[in-house]
Each structure stands twice: as C-alpha cells, then as structure tokens.
Amino acid sequence: MSISAVVLIIEDNRSLAEAVGLYLESRGMEVDYAADGAEGYRLAVENRYDAIILDGNLPRMDGMDVVRKLRGEARISTPIIMATARDTLDDKLAGLEEGVDDYLTKPFATQELEARLHAVIRRNRKEVGRKVLQVGDLSFDPTCHRVRRGDREIELSPVSTKLLTILMRESPRVVSRREIEREIWGDDQPDSDTLRSHLYNLRKVVDRGFDTPLLHTVQSAGYRIADLEPAHRPQPIAVATV
C-alpha cells in the first residue's frame, strides 16, 4: 500500500541514496537528497518533510549531531529513521535517546524501509489508533466516518472526508495548499480550482448555520480548522461614510 509523503534522504553513498530514492518515488513519494549532514540539516530546517532517512556516518556533520541539532536547537519533530551500519545495542539506544524514531541497520531491504516509513508517518499524522478528532463542537470518528457538529450529523464526500481529516489532524496549524493536494491526490495533481471547490463545499456543511466559523483561509499560507479566540478571528473592515 503506497502513501503520499515527502521524504528527505541524508546519505553520502550516492548509489544507495539513488536506489532508495527511485524506489520510494515509484511508490508515490517525493524525495529530496543531501550528501552530507550540514546540507541535510539545512534542508530539514528550511522545508517541511513527512520523514527523514538519516545515515549515521556523514561528512561535515555526523548523523547523531544532525539529530541533536534538529531536536534541540531547531525544535524539529519530523520523524527520523536512522539507517546506518552502526549496529550495536549502545548505538541504537543512543540514537533513540537523542530522538530517533526508528533504527534500521545496513544492509536493509527497501520494502522494510518503506514499511517503517509508513509506520512513523502515520504515527506522526495521528492515524495510529484512529482516535476521535475534536475541534470545538466539531467531531470526526475515523473508524466509522461519522462527522458531527453540535447535535447535527454531517454527510461528506470521500474527498471532503480526506480534507477534513487532514485539517482536523493538524489543527490548529495552517496547512498549505501543496501539502493538502499531495496527501489527497499524490502525483495526480488536480487543476487549480478543484481544491477550492472542495473547500467551499466543506465550509458550507461545516460552518453554515453556526455562529462560530471553524474553517479558515489564511491568505498566502493555506487553510486550517480551529476554534479561534475572538481576538484572533478576522475583524470586519470599517467602511467610512461621507
């Protein structure tokens, strides 16, 4: 089963990085590369990734130092799988203690790496456990696809359900258009009006008839579902009269 995701590979063995990257791309993922720790750290801080595959032995910045800086200085919580030839128990324990989410020793099968990626990405997206999502008086139970706002039950199309899942899962974070389109449609990107149309339909059923809007458009940034405090809600524009 494939999953839509953007993955950063930090690996100085070019042939290995290319082989892993080509496999993941064939499985529907987007891949960025870095050949040393310093470049990998820069990319991980400047971009948003669903997961990072990190070698332990790297030029310019050791893999463990990359983990320490990402978790400590940059406060980056992106899931990290350390894929390395360091295979002692002490190495594994040290990596997990520093903030590595999973540990894979070389050589490894690409299918196992893919399975581990799926696991850490789904865990980070809060898809493991399928708990009920709640924002204000809006609730979504993914086990039975039941959506309610207040005492009203809401019927959604499959795409609107995926859209609602993403926005509620990430709430109150603003989710970019690119992130949403990538997760829903993968490489088969729709035309520019498709997402706008689905957002319009979702807003119509989620917010219409309620005093407090939950679905918000953040200009030039993206969209979010959040129960905003009054001070953070968009204020009406005063129009001068003459």
- Which pLDDT belongs to residue 241? 42
pTM, two decimal places: 0.62
More confident residue, 188 or 58: 58
pLDDT band at 125 (very low <50, low <70, confident <90, very high): confident
Six-digit token string for 172: 């109150």
Same domain, 120 and 20: yes
Six-digit token string for 39: 């470049």
Across residues 69-87, what is the average pLDDT? Answer: 89
Does some domain include residue 237?
no
Same domain, 32 and 114: yes
Across residues 50-76, what is the average pLDDT? Answer: 93
State which residues form the domain around 112: 6-124
Does some domain include residue 98?
yes
Residues 175, 48: contact at Cβ < 8 Å?
no
Question: pLDDT, tens digit, for every residue of 180-231?
Answer: 887 887 766 677 688 889 999 999 999 988 989 999 999 888 999 998 765 4
Cβ-based neighbours of 187, under 8 Å, separated by 6 or more? 28
Q: What percentage of the chain carries pLDDT values higher than 70?
A: 90
Of 169, 60, 88, 55, nearest in space to 122 by CA: 169
Can you tell me the distance from the alpha carbon of 182 to that of 169, in angstroms, rounded to the nearest whole number? 16
- Which pLDDT belongs to residue 2? 63
Same domain, 115 and 216: no
* 187: CATH: 1.10.10.10
Domain end marker among 69, 96, 124:
124
Does some domain include residue 118?
yes
Q: Best-predicted range by mean pLDDT among 29-38, 172-181, 208-217, 225-234?
A: 29-38
How far from 55 is each of 52, 132, 192, 196, 206, CA to CA, in Å? Answer: 10, 36, 38, 40, 45
